[in-house]
Structure 1
Amino acid sequence: MSNSISLIFGLGLVGVLALVIQRTVFRKSSPLHNIPGPSSDSWLKGNFHHLANPHNEKWSEELVRTYAPVAKLTGPFGQIWLHVYDPKALYSIVIKDQDVWAKNALGANGFLVGPGLLTTQGEQHRKQRKMLTPVFSAAYLRNVTTLFYETSFKLRDALRKEVDSDAREVDALKWTGRTALELVGQGALGYSFDPLIEDVTDPFADAVKSFFGATSALRVARTILGPFALLGPAWFRRKVVELIPSTRVQRLKEIVDTMHQRSVDIVSQKKAAMENGDDAILRQIGDGKDIMSILLKANMAASEKEKLSEEEVIAQVSTFILAGMDTTSNATCRLLQLLAANPSVQQKLRDEILNAQAGQEVSYDEVMGLPYLDAVTRETLRLYGPVEKVGRKATQDTVLPLHEPIKGTDGSLITEIHVPKGTIVMLNLWACNTNKALWGEDAYEWKPERWLSPLPRALEEARVPGVYSNLMSFHGGSRACIGFKYAQLELKVVLSVLLTNFKFELTDKDIVWNHAGVAFPSVGKSRKPEMPLKISAIRNPTTV
């Protein structure tokens, strides 16, 4: 075994040297050389250490302010990357030529969460998407609305035990995180992680909560070493990981192992219930109407060609949880922070919810149809989407068209960009959502009222390829978030119940948002995820 490891390490070193030589030669002759962009102060890391910095707001804003909607970046080992938020280029990448652009450009995420919807490519991804899309139907969302309210009422009761009419400081993120996990657990998996009655610990829940922070801490290393992650068989890669003397690496391994084992257990339990008949299914949480139960039934009925493998089904468990927990809980916290900072908006929204009695259980159509609640939600997701950037990689030579020409370093006008195979692009979703050329000069301002009037004509004409409201917050095309309506419903139900029972105010603590895979709040220089807010119970909400 030691000889095999030495051989593979030697081949890896040769591969690194070949890659460095190839990228050095390519950079000098690249057709991307004429595109302006920021300089690099690190040959090894390029600009990526700025992109990966959790507190990179100033650098990112300067990048957008200084350069065109397509700019040149420098990746590891001097590789040329592109920074993109031009709507026509995005349309090409996300929809028109989506098969040209591979996901997982920045590391081996498939090794972390398995071959689920977030990580698979090409025909395998299309097959999974085809199987899962009908599951997220309007009928399913209408059925799950009651479950969302029931869980939100548990959150309400738990918070009432912590606060009274006098404002008390509470870590809102702790509660929104626990609620989001329970909602996605019950709605997606038919599984309860947290009864929201008392403080409980669950290894799987802890692993999920830690996943994005753990991967973010290794983002630069994973990006640099990503091209070599496929070296050797699976047993060898695991052995190498076990030998790496890094607490961060070992912590991530523990997280991944815990998530995988619980995923196996959940799928096994669901399949056993189905084999034991209807009575066993009805005894499960949600009476077998959760996404995983529906998926398993559809998979059993599918042809051999369309059927998902056991490995693919198991991978969907971690996929559902990772895609649905931190994103929604952190977005809820961002909303609560904004409402605390804007008490008049908070009261106006509370009044709308009270008038519609949406703080109690109402139908899916009623809660989704509240105009001001919808405006507040859309505006928050526009300006503060949980995921700001995603990476893609060109699998062949291609051409990117541009919405507006850009000026090259030689002064020429560029109307389209010839992109060589292997080029990595960073899609800046936030920059597209706040593009002043499309949204107007107030694009950086949080203004829910903008959604109560017609949107700018320039925005409509730009054909932004997002699946949701001219926004890239949920991406677009076949890579759009399959559960974006699920997330909207969750946000609106939880917010409706909270605002009719509690008042939210800011504390004097400095809240910082960290830009990891999913943005999360912390206090000051701490990296501990938390959102302290002053919360007080409302005795008579009509007089607040």
Structure 2
Amino acid sequence: MFLLTVYAAIAVCSALLAWKVLRQRIRQANLRKIPGPPSGSFLKGNLPQVYSREQGWDFHAGLLEKFGTVVKIHGWVGDTLLYITDPRALHNITVKDQYIFEETSGFISNNMLNFGSGLLSTLGDHHRQQRKLLNPVFSINHMRYMIPIFQKVCGELRDQLVERVKGGPREVEIVHWMTATALELIGQAGLGYSFECVNDTSGNEFALAVKTLLPTQFPFMVYRMFLPWIVRFVPRPIRTLVARHGPVPRLRALAAIVDVMQRTSTEILAQKKMALMKGDEAVMLQVGEGRDIMSVLLKANMAAAEEDRLSEEELLGQMSTLLFAAMDTTSSALSRILYLLAEHQDVQDKLRDELMKAQEVAGGALDYDDLHNLPYLDAVCRETLRLFPPIPLLSRTTRADVVLPLGTPITGTDGSKITEIPIAENTDVIISILGVNRSVAIWGADALEWRPTRWLAPLPQSVVDAHVPGVYSNTMTFLGGGRACIGFKFSQLEIKVLLATLLPVLKFELSDTKIQWKLSSLLYPSVGNGVKPMMPVKMSLVSEEAG
């Protein structure tokens, strides 16, 4: 019976796929003149190249160099996708026509299975309703309350690292510590909950689960388009059985990761609601003293009109989404910054000098305004997030026929000049965050160079004229429009507090271990050809270097 159900599901999915492919090939005929690479295979097109951990870097760079700002690439069985870095086109996709260019069904289904009904799993009015409740807790005024929590957690990290190198220089695996710190930061400031993962060196179950989620899931990206049909036609008990006990080891690992995330979110939410029921005194005794994002959200939800309230399922979804998004992306960004500072000792020394002088003037730890008035610290953060955005690409699909205007005309395969592209409903487009942020046409001949000083002078006119529609520093790092990263200010603050805490006392140098940065849903470092996120660096005390 089980096998019959599986075979029936496969047959239905195959029939639907065949119909979709035939229909789309007819509707996408007007995309034939768009330049692009040949298909890598009849079945999967260029998708294995787009989503390759190692070869993906060269493939993405080649698309920009050979074909320009709009590229046609091949998907499943001849389906056509558009790979886009044109800023005007991106403005239409993320801002002007954002409700036509929605998240793909595969993306939504995937996130619903991973996180529940949170911001990353909803569309349209449902998404706007959730965002409306969340916006106030990510305001600048609320961020100011987070500084003491950030300083406390980062201070615990500093003490742990100092303890490890007080006997002399030592190689330390830094991704573990950045992951633990990012989780503790979002735990305390976001959920009013301590995972105790900075002081507990044994490793936290939830931290390990989130850290390995994307590397485990990434090979399935090629098949994500089938996910909505699987969810629709395969009963949940069968999906769960296959995921947890089926013959695919990676799928079993993914199911275990999701189970840990969902169980943890359920436990934390129960504690938060119990404290609220007991009154303000119980809330004040919690980590964060009731000022954390989740406590504020729960209170706002209780006070909201009935039609605007989030359900229990949605609250759990927000928690899982917050934990994942804040931990993984911040950990990736912090690891990259420390790697670059270890590689560029002159930049590290200059940044350390700026931080120590500011702390001397402030008479101690830096507050919100102090941190945002340090030009070199800001420049290092902006340049790193420009050149190495934690999330390199995102996908959208058209919910209706639409015409996409281009800021820069492209030359068609027949030599014609193309200034706008008619796109049929259900056509997928890839937003290349990496490509826009590294565009030579926008950023100049040194676009691929990590040069923080570019932010200490007026930006080139080409950057201003590009009108990149992102919410952060003329880049697409945190996206733009109604689905821009809601917590990007939170992330920036975390990064700045951590650097201000570590650099005055610790020096970072490259180790002899070869590090490779893998192209995934999230950029991450690993040792050699390994898949697990890892990055050993050599650390020592600044006082020893001075002595």
TM-score, length-scaled by structure 1 = 0.96
State the 1:198 CA deviation: 3.4
The answer (yes or no) to whether the contact 1:23–1:77 under 8 Å persists in 2 is no
Q: For residues 91-132 of structure 1, what are the alpha-carbon distances to aligned partners after superposition, in whole Å with 9 as ceiling and x for unaligned?
A: 000000000011145442222211101121101000011110
Post-superposition shift, 1:41?
A: 2.1
What does the per-residue CA deviation read over 1:474-523, in whole Å, with 9 as the maximum and x for residues that have no partner?
A: 11111111010100000011011111011111112211001111111011
Quick one: distance in 2 between partners of 1:523 and 1:9? 38
Compare 198-207 and 491-500 and name the one that shifted more.
Answer: 198-207
Question: Does 1:44 find its partner at 2:48?
Answer: no
Tell me the distance in 2 between the aligned counterparts of 1:467 and 1:6: 46
Matched, 1:115 2:114: no
Residue aligning to 1:179: 181
What amino acid is the match of 1:215? Q
Q: Unaligned regions of 5+ residues in structure 1, if any?
A: none
SS at structure 1 position matched to 2:161: helix
Aligned counterpart for 1:505 among listed residues 502, 509, 513: 509
* Structure 1 segment 60-79 matched on structure 2, within 5 A: 60-79=60-79
Whole-Å Cα distance in 1 between the matches of residues 77 and 262 of structure 2?
33
Shift of 1:25: 4.2
Structure 1 residue 61 displacement after superposition: 0.8
Secondary structure of 1:402's aligned partner: strand
Of all paired residues, the percent bearing the same amino acid is 43
Measure the CA separation in 1 of the matches of 2:391 and 2:485.
11
Aligned letter for 2:267? D
Indicate conservation of the 8 Å contact 2:507/2:539, yes or no: yes
Determine whether 1:53 maps to 2:52: yes
Q: Answer yes or no: is the 8 Å Cα contact 2:102–2:396 preserved in 1.
A: yes
The CA deviation at 1:203 is 2.5
2:308 corresponds to which residue?
Answer: 306
**Aligned mates of 1:198, 1:114 — CA distance in 2:** 29
Unaligned runs of at least 5 residues, structure 2: none
How far off its partner does 1:6 sit?
5.6
User: In the TM superposition, what are the counterparts of 1:83-98 in structure 2 within 5 Å?
Assistant: 83-98=83-98
Q: Which amino acid aligns with 1:529?
A: P
Work out the CA distance in 1 between the residues paired with 2:335 and 2:160. 17
1:244 Cα offset (Å): 3.5
**C-alpha separation between the residues in 1 aligned to 2:337 and 2:34?**
38
**Residue 395 of structure 2 contacts residue 428 of structure 2 at CA under 8 Å; is this kept in 1?**
yes
Number of residue pairs the alignment of both structures matches? 541
Q: Which SS does the other structure have where 2:39 is aligned?
A: coil
Task: Tell me the distance in 2 between the aligned counterparts of 1:359 and 1:131.
Answer: 38
What residue number does 2:396 align with? 392
Is the CA contact (8 Å cut-off) linking 1:217 and 1:248 kept in structure 2? no
Distance (whole Å) between structure 1 residues aligned to residue 238 and residue 159 of structure 2: 50
Q: Aligned pair in 2 of structure 1 residues 238, 528: CA closer, same or farther (>3 Å)? A: closer
Segment drifting more, 352-361 vs 320-329: 352-361
SS of 1:230's equivalent? helix
Residues 45-100 of structure 1, C-alpha deviations (whole Å, 9 max, x = no match):
11110111012111111111001101101011210000001000000000000000
DSSP-derived class of the 1:512 partner: strand
In 2: Cα distance, 1:105 partner to 1:344 partner: 47
Aligned residue number for residue 137 of structure 2:
135
Task: Determine the C-alpha separation between the residues in 2 that align with 1:348 and 1:5.
Answer: 61
User: What is the CA–CA distance in structure 1 between the aligned matches of 2:59 and 2:13, rounded to whole Å?
Assistant: 34
CA gap of 1:359–1:506, structure 2 versus 1, over 3 A, is farther
Secondary structure of the residue aligned to 1:356 is: helix
Q: Which residue does 2:128 correspond to in 1?
A: 126
Residue 385 of structure 2 corresponds to which residue in structure 1? 381
C-alpha displacement of 1:22 = 3.0
Taking the aligned partners of 2:158 and 2:364, their CA distance within structure 1 comes to: 11
Give 1:12 shift: 2.7
Corresponding residue of 1:483: 487
Tell me if structure 2 keeps the 8 A contact 1:382–1:473. yes
* Kept in 1: contact 2:181–2:197 (CA 8 A): no
3-state DSSP class of the match of 2:289?
helix
Structure 1 Cα separation of the partners of residues 392 and 482 of structure 2 = 18
2:268 aligned residue:
266
Matched, 1:450 2:454: yes
Amino acid across the alignment from 1:80? T
SS in 2 for 1:469: coil
The secondary structure found in structure 1 opposite 2:525 is strand
Aligned to 1:411: 415
The aligned amino acid for 1:323 is: A
Q: Give distance in 1, aligned partners of 2:170 and 2:89.
A: 48
Q: Is the 8 A contact 1:153 1:497 kept in 2?
A: yes
Amino acid at match of 2:15: V
Give the partner amino acid of 2:541. A
Q: What root-mean-square deviation, in Å, do the aligned CA atoms of Structure 1 and Structure 2 show?
A: 1.8
SS of the equivalent of 1:325 reads helix
Cα distance, 1:5 vs. partner?
5.7
* Cα distance in 2, alignment partners of residues 69 and 359 from structure 1: 50
Change (3 A) 1:105 1:383: farther
Deviation of residue 195 (structure 1)? Answer: 4.7
Partner in structure 1 of residue 31 of structure 2: 32
Query: How far, CA to CA, are the matches of 2:345 and 2:9 in structure 1?
Result: 61
Q: Is the 8 A contact 2:9 2:230 kept in 1?
A: no
Q: TM-score, normalised by structure 2?
A: 0.95
Q: Contact 2:45–2:74 at 8 Å: present in 1 too?
A: yes
Tell me by how many angstroms 1:235 deviates: 3.8
Structure 1 stretches of 4+ with a deviation exceeding 6 A read none
For residue 526 of structure 1, what is the aligned residue in structure 2?
Answer: 530
- State the Cα distance separating 1:362 from its structure 2 match: 1.7
Asked whether the 8 Å contact 2:73–2:82 carries over to 1, the reply is yes
1:427 aligns with 2:431: yes
